[in-house]
Structure 1
Amino acid sequence: MSRIAQVEVFPVAVPFARRFVLGSGAVGTPDAAPDQSAAVIFVKLTTEDGVVGWGEQRALPSWSYETAETMAVIIRRHLAPILLQLTPFDIELFQRRAAQRLSPAVSNGFPFARAAVDVAMHDAAGKLAGVPVHALLGGKVHDEIPLCSAIGVGDQDTVRAHVLQSSDYAAYKIKIRGDVDADTAGIEVAAEAADGKPLWLDANQSYRPAALRQLRNRTAHISTIHCVEQPVPSTDTLAMGRLRELIDLPVAIDEGSFSAQDLARAIRLDAADLVVIKVCKSGGLRNALKTAQTALAGGLEILASGLTDCGIAFAAALHVFSQLELALPAELNGPELLTDLYVDGLTLTKAVATVPTAPGLGIEVDEERIRTESVNLLYR
C-alpha cells in the first residue's frame, strides 16, 4: 500500500468578492491583504506512487481560535510526522494519533488543521481506489445540493440589494449583530425581498437572551423565519437551553458544538433543536458524519455550512452533505463570496451544486496559482 511520502503547506490570501460582516465583525473585503481573516491553508499530500491529495481550510480567528500561523505549524511540525508513517486510507488511525499528540482537552484539538489534512487524505484515497470520496463514506443519496445565500450584516439598502442579487438561491442566511433595532429592520427588509423563501438567522454569539426575546417579539409576524443560530456565546450551553423556553423559534447550535461529544452534551441539556455541521470544526469528513449521526439519534435536525471555503473544501463538503437530509439548503458560500475557488471541475447551476463523481474529490486544483500566490504568514 502506497505510503504518504511528502506533506506540503501553502498559505494563500484569498480576497472576498464583496465585504462580508458577521455579528462578530468583518471577515473579508475585496481588497483583503494577506492577514488572518483572508488566509487559506492549502495542503498537498504526495504518496510514494506519486498520487496527490489536496486539502484546504480557512483561518478565521474571530470565529475559532486557530490562525493561519498555528495551522501551518501544527501541520508541518506535528501532523506531518504522523502522516509520513501512514497511507491515505489510514484516516481513523491518523485522527487517533493526532488526538494523542495534540490533546483535544474539552473538545476537538486543532480541528481546522486536522480537517485540512483529513480532506487531503480522502482525496488521495479516492484517487488510489478509483472512486469519489462519497463512495469511501458509504455513497451519496443526493446528486445535487441546493445552496443557501449568505447575507452579511449591513444597512437596509445593502441587505435588500444582496437578497435580490441572490434570487436564484432557495433560502437566505441572514447575519444579525445583537442590535435589536438594526436587526429587526434588516430581517424585515430581507423577508420582503426574499418573497416567501426561508430565512435562517445567524447571530454568531452576539445576543443576550433577553435581547433576543425582544427581537423575536418584534419579528413574530414574519412567518418565513426558520430558526436562529448560535445566539449566545459558545461556552454558555445553559443559556441556549433557557432560550428555547423564552422564544417560539427553533434554536440551532454551531460554535457551541464542534464534535459529536459536544453535541451529545448539548442534547442532554436540551440546548438545541438543530445543529450546524461544518467539516472544518469537526476536524474532518468522518467526524462530521459522526456528529450528524449523533444529531439524528438525539432528534435534532441538521443544517449544513462551511466557512467561506475555496473549491477543495467546498467539494469535500458536497461529498459529506450528499449523504444527509438537511433542514434547509446548504450554506456553502465560497462560490458566492470569493473571487476565485482555485479549482476546476465544480458544477453550479442556478445556486444548485452537483456532487462530483470523479475519483477523489473530483476536481482539478490550480497548483501553479496556489504556489505562486503562497505567502509566508509565519515570519512576516
Structure 2
Amino acid sequence: MKITAIRAYPVWVGIRTQLLVKVETDEGVFGWGESGLTGREKAVVGALEHFAELIVGMDPFKIGGIWQTLYRSQYFEGGRVLAAAQSAIDIALYDIKGKALGVPVYQLLGGKQRDHIPTFATTSGEPGEAMIEQAQMLMEAGWTAMRLSPSGHEETIYEPREHIPVTAKWCTKAREVLGDEVVLGVDYHHRLSVAEAASFCQKMPRGTLDFLEEPIRDETPEAYESLRRMTDIPFAIGEEFASKWQFLPYIERDIHQFNRIDICNVGGLTEAMKVAGWSEAHYVDMMPHNPLGPICTAATVHFAAAVANFSWLETRSSPAETHLGFDNSDLFPVQPRLERAVYPVPEAPGLGVEVNEDLVLKQDFKFWNAPMLNRRDGSVTNW
C-alpha cells in the first residue's frame, strides 16, 4: 500500500471553519484527520502541500517513520502551523491502518483501558443564576465534572479587573449550590496576568475550584511557577502546545496537574502517546482539549481509551452548548455520540467516523477569525 494523495478541506462546521484532511492510498483505503489551528487554515493547507511532496509514495503503515520524516524535513523544525498539518496527517494514517487491519484505532495504541470516556461540559451563560441553572441541568443529565462560565466581554472590550470579582462571586455561589461532589473549573483563555490570576484565586474560599484552566499565557513556565506559589488550585494547561518539548518544563517542574493536550495540534496520536507516558511518570492526568468536530473527538476518544492517566474529555455537544452546532450530522453521518455524559469507545475499524465528501466539496472557503479584544484604553488583549 502506498500514499497517493493528501487532500485538504477547509469546512464550515458549527460556528467556524475547520480543516479536514484526507489521505488516500493506491488500494482505495483512505483516512481522515483534522488540523487544530482554527482560523489559520490556509497556512496549514500550504504546509500540507509541502508535506505531500515528501510522503506521497510512502507506506502509510510506517506511521512513526513518517512522523519523523515530516518533523525533520526542514531546518526550522516544529511550530504550530507545521505541527497542525502533521497532526492531521498522523491521525489520518492511524485511520487508514485501522481500516486496513480491521481494528479500531485504540488497538494500535496498546489496547483499550476503559469502555467509555467520561467528559466535562461547559456552561455557556454569563455568571449568574442562569449559569447555575445550566450547571444543575448538566448534573441531572449525568455530568460530574464541568467548566463554569467566566464573566465575558462587552462586544470588543475586556477588562480583567472588572470581570474577576463577578466570576469569583458566582463560582463561590455555584459551589454552595451544587455541592462538593461535582468537579468545577474555569477557563480563562490566557486573558490574565500573574497578578490578576492570583487576585482571582484569592477572592474564593479554598476548595471552590478543582481546576483553573489557562489563566495566563504559557510561553514562560517561570510565570506559572510564580502563580503556583500564590495558589493551590490545580492548573490545567497545554491546549496550545505543539510538541512534547513544550510540555517538558511543565511536567518535569511539577507546575500543573492536568494536560489539556490537543491531538490536532500536538503532532497527532503519535506525539500525544509520548506526552501521555511522560505525564504518567509524573502523575499528571490527561484532560484533552476538544473544541473541533467529530474527527478530533473520535481521535481523542481512542487516545483516551488507550492511556492510563486520563481524567475527562472536553465535549462541546452538551445540552448547555447546543447553539454551537458542532454535532453536524449532514457532514458526518457516522461519528461519536454522547450517551448521557460519556462517549462509548467505537469498535468500528479505524476512527469510526464517516465524512460526506460530496457535501464537503460543495462548500466554499469561509474566513473565520477569533474575536479581537481591547482594553478600554485601546490596548490589545487576549480573546
Quickly name the TM-score band, shorter chain normalised. Answer: 0.7 to 0.9
Work out the CA distance in 2 between the residues paired with 1:70 and 1:296.
34
**Cross-structure match for 2:327:** 340
**Which residue pairs with 1:83 in the alignment?**
55
- Aligned partner of 1:30 in structure 2 is none
Letter in 1 for 2:337: T
**Counterpart residue number, 2:184:** 199
2:150 equivalent to 1:166 = no
CA distance, structure 1, for counterparts of residue 33 and residue 218 of structure 2: 27
Establish whether residue 53 from structure 1 lines up as the match of residue 31 from structure 2. yes
Where does residue 72 of structure 1 map in the other structure? 45
**Aligned-pair CA distance for 1:192:** 4.8
Alpha carbons 1:175, 1:203 under 8 Å: kept? no
Matched, 1:265 2:264: no
Note if contact 1:200-1:227 (Cα within 8 Å) is conserved in structure 2: yes
Matches within 5 A, 1:117-196: 117-152=89-124, 154-167=126-139, 168=141, 169-176=143-150, 178=160, 179-192=163-176, 194-195=178-179, 196=181
Q: Say whether residues 1:312 and 2:295 are aligned partners.
A: yes
Q: In the alignment, which of 185, 191, 216 is matched to residue 201 of structure 2?
A: 216
Please tell me whether residue 231 in structure 1 is matched to residue 205 in structure 2.
no
Q: Is the 8 A contact 2:37 2:80 kept in 1?
A: no
- CA distance in 1: counterparts of 2:231 and 2:288, whole angstroms: 23
- List per-residue Cα deviations over 1:26-51 (Å, max 9, x = no partner): xxxxxxxxxxxx11111112210111
Q: Is the 8 A contact 1:108 1:283 kept in 2?
A: no
RMSD: 2.5
Say if 1:353 and 1:256 are closer, same or farther in 2 by CA, change over 3 A: closer
Tell me the TM-score normalised to structure 2 length: 0.82
- Equivalent pairs: percent with the same residue? 25
Which position in structure 1 is the counterpart of 2:229? 245
Q: Could you say if the C-alpha distance between residues 257 and 93 of structure 1 is closer, same or farther in structure 2, counting changes exceeding 3 Å?
A: same
After TM superposition, the score normalised by the length of structure 1 is: 0.83
The question of whether the paired residues in 2 share the 8 Å contact of 1:263 and 1:294 is answered with no
What is the CA-CA distance between 1:126 and the residue it aligns to? 0.8
> Any unmatched runs of 5+ in structure 1?
17-37, 62-66
**CA–CA separation in structure 2 for the residues paired with 1:333 and 1:172:** 11
Residue identity in the other structure for 2:186: L
Q: Distance in 2 between matches of 1:114 and 1:153?
A: 35
Residue from 324, 328, 344 that aligns with 1:354:
344
Could you report, residue by residue, the CA deviation over 1:270-299 in whole angstroms, capped at 9, with x for unpaired residues? 432332222022110020111111112233
Tell me: CA distance 1:374–1:119, structure 2 relative to 1, closer, same or farther (3 Å). farther
CA shift at 1:187, angstroms? 1.7
**Displacement of 1:123 after TM fit?**
0.6
In the alignment, structure 2 segments of 5+ residues that lack a partner are 152-159, 369-383
1:278 maps to 2:262: yes
Per-residue CA deviation, residues 236-286 of structure 1 (Å, 9 max, x unaligned), is 210111111111212232246432222222234443233222202211002
Query: Letter of the aligned partner of 2:150 in structure 1?
Result: I
